[in-house]
Amino acid sequence: MAPPKRRLGGRVTPKGTQPGSRATADAPGVARASTASSRYTPPVPKAVKVSPRWVPYLMFALLGVGIVIILLNYIDLVLPGATNNWYLLVGLLSILGGIVAATQYR
């Protein structure tokens, strides 16, 4: 058997109450002062966090150095030695450091 259908429209609160007030079980027609909500309210921050001025410079520098090292890895005449996976690893770690620095920017 299907559950009964809900009525659309109509009064939801008992007659004589105001929005935001709650009626007591003792006196159904008497409204009382609203109480504190049981919902979580995050605390208001006391100060807005601001990142140091060097964080975006470090981020762009690490990203740029990483890209340059990876590109220079494939030009055999610029970096000492032949094409090497260690240069690729250093470039990728530099880019990763730039991404980590980007997450610290506020």
Rounded Cα–Cα distance for residues 85 and 65 (Å): 16
Domain chopping of the chain, boundaries: 54-103
- Helices 54-73, 85-103: axis angle to 10 degrees equals 160
Task: Note the pTM of the prediction, 2 decimals.
Answer: 0.55
pLDDT tens profile 12-64: 666 777 666 665 555 555 555 556 667 888 887 888 888 899 999 999 999 99
pLDDT tens profile 54-90: 999 999 999 999 999 999 888 877 878 888 899 999 9
